[in-house]
Chains A and B, each alone.
Chain A
Amino acid sequence: YALQGSRWRVKALTYKISKYPKRLKRSDVDTEVAKAFSVWSEYTDLTFTPKASGPVHIEIKFVESEHGDGDAFDGVGGTLAHAFFPVFGGDAHFDDAEQWTVNSPRGTNLFQVAAHEFGHSLGLSHSDVRSALMAPFYRGYEPVFKLDTDDVLAIQALYGKKSTQNGNGLNPTSGGAFPRTTQRPAFTPPRAPRDDVICKDPKIDALFNSAEGQTYAFKGNKYYKLTENSIAEGYPKLIAEGWPGLPGDIDAAFTYKNGKTYFFKGTKYWRYNGRQMDGDYPKEISEGFTGIPDHLDAAMVWGGNGKIYFYKGSKFWRFDPLKRPPVKSSYPKPISNWEGLPNSLDAALQYTNGYTYFFKGDKYYRFNDRTFAVDSADPPFPRPSAHWWFGCKNTPSSTGVDDHQAHDEASEADRSVMSNSA
């Protein structure tokens, strides 16, 4: 998926249909439009309230030809509708020359097109995932509508997961999304005093989110389950016991949209479905991940576009399994393209709360996908991983900054960034 770069600062949005189509009943249009909005509110805390008059966030119009925005419609077929991103107002325009229909294989299905356009109104760009609602092409009437995982990930990247959502929405293969378990882990002082090897030496091998939403850190032959601001009780445990067949000293790991977790070490990789090896592994990286080097430093699925990024030394590679070749000829590129990141990373963690985290040595960097740079914050990045991620006692939170003040300012900085949008 692709995010345009703006979003609404509020989750309670209003809309009105200021010009109805010629050939449909108003009540049908009202119903279909409400249903189209509900596609997005089902997976987020967004709410959409219709208004008959007055200012609204999203104005909907059925118009023909030139209609005042300089982007004229083209009659039957061709362009069906367009919508403006939040930063441009969020309005959605539908070409009234089309034969808009409801629950019919004839004409153009209003619900499907409206749901797509409202995706733009909320900040989503076109996706290159063909099955996604946000793919640009109209696929014809689909009597049973199901939002693609790609769309769910996209909208949740902007507005977060629905707070009341139960577990069944989390299966990436069934239209769900990865849960946001890695919300900034340590804005409150660490509570659990830890006396463990990870506190003495916080350098880690790999970090990843499981499909179930747990975040794990791998170090040597042990793994740690992370809580919001520390390490879960009873950890570390042996990797060989948690993921039977997997060796220690892993180089990199990530969980892909298919819910499978990939581990890399040396020239080989392993694929797991949950805690079970998913077939005959290990396999050679050069076979399963053509174009990606051996002996990786880090890997992640970047929330900015859902593609897989690999890091090694001073270079990075972008891997798209849907493309041939999966790595474009323009790669590798220098890590310096990621403003503020050092070379020779240890680990990278998939974006879930608007940020991507990179780890090197005993420190971590918070990367802002919107500014495409390591965040400026107080205390500054890099920050010590032991304090902020692993809840270690008697470890510094920063250098030369009062702890209490640092926490407050960091929280404030995060909040302002999260709401910094249209």
Chain B
Amino acid sequence: VQSGPVSTTTQAEIYLSQFGYLPASARNPANGGLLDANTWTKAVQDFQSFAGLNVTGELDDETMRLMSMPRCGVRDKVGFGTDSRSKR
């Protein structure tokens, strides 16, 4: 569980997996799991889109600033969350 500001790719990775933008396996960067570039970019884009930021796919300052904001611990209803829709 992460607390505090998000300022590195690893912290962002944990954040994105914690809130449903990346699969849970990405939550533990120590497990050696590698993310392909597309998955990572898509996760950042999904977060930016959900949060109303410019959708660049880049982990820019604005994105990390929003990731650092205090927030609710419930997953956002996207991507890999257990509540995500299987069919739309």
Contact = CB atoms under 8 A, between A and B. Distances in A.
A80 B87 contact: no
Given A5-B83, A125-B83, A137-B66, A80 B73 contact: yes
B70 interface: yes
Given A128-B50, A128-B52, A79 B88 contact: no
Nearest to A6: B83
Count class of interface residues, chain A:
20 to 34
A85 B75 CA distance: 11
A52 B88 CA distance: 43
A81 B52 CA distance: 22
B35 interface: no
B22 to A, nearest CB: 16
A138 B66 CA distance: 10
Interface string A124-155: 01101010000011100000000000000000
A2 interface: yes
A75 interface: yes
Interface string A84-107: 010000000000000000000000
Contacts of A73: 1, 73
Count class of interface residues, chain B:
20 to 34
A83 B83 contact: no
Nearest to A3: B77
B72 A116 contact: yes
A134 to B, nearest CB: 9
Contacts of B88: 337, 372
A108 B78 CA distance: 26
Interface centre among A80, A83, A128, A323 (most CB of B within 10 A): A128
Interface in A48-98: 71-83, 85
A340 to B, nearest CB: 13
A128 B1 contact: no
Interface of A: 2, 4-5, 71-83, 85, 108, 113, 116-117, 120, 125-126, 128, 130, 136-138, 322-324, 337, 372
Given A128-B50, A372-B88, 12 more contacts: A2-B77, A4-B83, A71-B1, A72-B1, A74-B2, A76-B3, A77-B70, A83-B74, A126-B74, A128-B51, A137-B70, A372-B87
